[in-house]
Structure 1
Amino acid sequence: MAYPKIPAQQQDRLPGRETEMHPQAEFIRDSYKGSGKLAGKVALISGGDSGIGRAAAVHFAREGADVAIMYLDEHEDAENAKRMVEAEGQLCLLLPGDIRDSRHCNDAVEQTVKTFGRLDVLVNNAGRQEVQTRLEDITDEQWEKTFATNIHGYFYLTRAALPHLKAGASIINTTSINSFIGNPILVDYTSTKGAIDGFTRALSQQLIERDIRVNQIAPGPIWTPLQPPSLGKHDPELLEDFGSQMPMGRCGQPSELGPAYVYLASEDSSYVSGQTIHINGGKVVNG
């Protein structure tokens, strides 16, 4: 299969915009056939307007789930994601707001349950990254924003969701290859992903007695709106042939992660908790 090469590009605003990326990302393959694995279930996805979150949303919908999508303020991206979910015959609720605000996380969960009557799957996926080549150049503001988005938001949302999650529910966290191999120009981002790893493992042990599974997915270089306003803004040439350093010689598409989220959300993974699925183009890592 031919995969598009990524040209040099940048965006000037965090979070990035899916609509401004070229080429456009692929979210689900025409060949992916749903089989009702999530029929009747409801999923809440942070950062579900674009990238990996949108791929999870559309795959869940093709498997029969209704989806609530949290996002900051990328309204056009969110509307496009909603259209894709609805095209699969499922309902979609859009929940704009800042995941760094615990009250917003509480409200998002309450609106989801009020709208759909239940909550079965939580995907913690929203994230931010910003390039700095020297630790001394990471300001207090950048450090705090990155942690507030990438791990505090996971905690707030999970805490709000737990009273509504019943036996058999699934929590899926998006971590990163960077926490396993380190990234010298994304120190704060990499640190938050290490925190997510610990959060996933500890919480999985705590919730086993409630029959709630907690797992995580560790993407490698995936073509999402995280990249142009961070790597691309630092140096547009960094995105030229993005992912070519991986053993497969290319970046991944969000469509290549969606089925893994389905697996962890469904009964197919009923004997899996506290684990990491590495989707990174063939890079062997420990953990």
Structure 2
Amino acid sequence: MSPPSSIPEQYKPGFLPPSIAKQMQENLPGQQSPLEPAPLDDILADGTKYKPAGKLEGKKAVVTGGDSGIGRSVSILFALEGADVFLHYHPLEEKDANDTKAYIAKVAPSAKVELYAKDLRTEQACLEMVEEVKKWSGSKLDILINNAATQNEVPHIEELESEQWRHVFDVNIHAIFYLSKNLIPIMPWGGSIVNNASINPFVGHPKLLDYTATKGAIVGFSRALSNQIVKEKGIRVNVVCPGPIWTPLVAATMSKESLESFGPSTAIGRAGQPVEVATAFVFLASSDSSYFTAQCFHVNGGAAY
């Protein structure tokens, strides 16, 4: 049976962008605006718009890497749900950040969005961001979404430069430690930390050795941190582990061969869209998930992990 014609093309099994070569980008961290068709931020698989229900009304949320991909969709859905958003982005992604803020102003005009550009590779950079978050939030932060990440395919360990290994760890896991350590003190009982990991620690992506290692570290870090703080502080810590999701980071870092097989091998038969992951973040950030902590949400199109 064929899917209904009203369903967006991106949700139909076997969908790939019309020209993989056209989608590929040469420079990190990757830009959302050139992707065609654009990743879906708030259009669901039945073709309808996401319907908010005030789940985050009055909350203040930090989203790292909130300008594009999964982070953009999380920022949009959080704003729709009533949260004010401190939207961090890499300085090279200013256009995407401004586009995201403008879109939020259109669909959720009452939401307050603060843009903040920072390369989070160092502890000092993370501490500077913490101070800005404290000023913005009045030293009361309800939700921390650690989403910013980087990757770059390297086929073999002997070709993986030590500089890249350190860079990926600095961005993907060290920044999460620095931000969590210094923002937990201003998070109230009932607060939520959600870290973005990946399917890759559970499958062992052979071309993403460093990235896979950091994402496995995020899973372990999150579970241990939850067990450390949830009873004492009432702050839950969970992880989202996306499978193949169509984002600018993918277009900027994966080979043509990898992109041509990106998604169709899943049980659903296609790559996921950012909104399909962002809805998991909404759930884990809200009181709907009050009995969920130290858990991994596998948003992966049906992979058996």
Give me the TM-score of the superposition, normalised by structure 2: 0.90
CA contact (8 A) 1:93 1:112 kept: no
Aligned to 1:219: 242
Q: Which residue identity lines up with residue 93 of structure 1 in the other structure?
A: E
After TM superposition, what 4+ stretches of structure 1 lie above 6 angstroms from structure 2? none
Partner of 2:95: 76
Relative to structure 1, the CA distance from residue 84 to residue 2 in structure 2 (aligned partners, 3 Å threshold; closer, same or farther) is closer
Q: Secondary structure at the match of 2:97?
A: helix
1:18 to 32, 46, 51: 32
Aligned to 1:52: 70
Q: Is the 8 A contact 1:44 1:68 kept in 2?
A: yes
Structure 1 residue 181 displacement after superposition: 1.0
Separation in structure 2 between the aligned mates of residue 91 and residue 20 of structure 1, nearest angstrom: 27
Listed one character per residue, the Cα deviations across residues 190-213 of structure 1 (whole Å, up to 9, x for unaligned) are: 000010010011000011121000
Identify unmatched segments of 5+ residues in structure 2.
1-6, 11-15
User: What are the within-5 Å matches in structure 2 for residues 110-121 of structure 1?
Assistant: 110-117=131-138, 118-121=140-143
Aligned to 1:105: 126
Equivalents in 2 of 1:136, 1:238: separation in Å?
A: 20
Spell out, residue by residue over 1:211-236, the C-alpha distance to the aligned partner (whole angstroms, 9 max, x if none): 000000000000011111211xxx32
Mapping for residues 187-198 of structure 1, pairs under 5 Å: 187-198=209-220
Residues in 2 aligned to 1:137 and 1:176: alpha-carbon distance in whole angstroms:
23
Q: Alignment partner for residue 32 of structure 1, among 41, 50, 61?
A: 50
Question: 2:156 maps to what in 1?
Answer: 134
RMSD: 1.2
- Tell me which residue corresponds to 1:95: 116
Q: How many residues align?
A: 282
Partner letter of residue 144 of structure 1? Answer: R
CA offset digits 1:110-143 (Å, max 9, x no partner): 2223123231100001001111111100001110
Q: Distance in 1 between matches of 2:142 and 2:155?
A: 41
Aligned to 1:181: 203
Residue aligning to 1:247:
267
Residues in 2 aligned to 1:130 and 1:252: alpha-carbon distance in whole angstroms: 20
Q: Percent identity?
A: 44
Of 66-75 and 114-123, the range deviating more from structure 2: 114-123
2:4 — aligned with what? none
Q: Distance in 2 between matches of 1:268 and 1:22?
A: 35
2:185 maps to which residue?
163
Q: In structure 2, how many angstroms separate the alpha carbons of the residues matched to 1:2 and 1:16?
A: 24
| Equivalent of residue 257 in structure 1, options 277, 283, 286 | 277
Q: Per-residue deviation at 1:166?
A: 0.9
> For residue 44 of structure 1, what is the amino acid of its counterpart?
V
Aligned partner letter, 1:147: F
Q: 1:43 aligned to 2:99? A: no
Gaps of 5+ in 1: none
Which whole-Å CA distance do the structure 2 matches of 1:68 and 1:174 have between them? 17
Deviations along 1:3-33, one digit per CA (max 9) or x if unpaired, are 3322313111110111122221111125311
